[in-house]
Amino acid sequence: MPYQVSLIIPAWNAENTISDCIISAIKAKGSPSEIIVVDDCSNDKTMSIVKNLANDYPIIKLIHLKNNLGPAAARDFGVNAS
């Protein structure tokens, strides 16, 4: 039985790098079954970039935190969503 892998990406104001990060994960050998991006209350274009990518790649899920809680909390939210 094949295994399922979830990649959790905590992101805060990552508009310059998030697209490359996600595309790299998708193209990698043994790419994940799902990619969960947890936006940690960014005030840049991170969310819109992820939403646009999710239109093309349905394995991408976006969680938006209403308060900036830091990368550890963002990862925890991602784990709970996986």
pLDDT-derived band at 1 (thresholds 50, 70, 90) equals low
Whether the predicted pLDDT of 18 surpasses 60: yes
Query: With contact defined as beta carbons under 8 Å apart, do 61 and 37 qualify?
Result: yes
Note the pLDDT tens digit of each residue in 37-82. 999 999 999 999 999 999 999 999 999 999 999 999 999 999 999 9
Q: Strands 34-39, 6-11: parallel, antiparallel or unpaired by DSSP?
A: parallel
Instruction: Please name every residue paired with 62 in a beta bridge, in sequence order, or none if there are none.
Output: 37
The pTM of this model reads 0.93
Residue range 20-26: average pLDDT?
A: 97
Task: Supply the pLDDT for residue 3.
Answer: 77
Largest Cα separation within the chain, whole Å, is 42
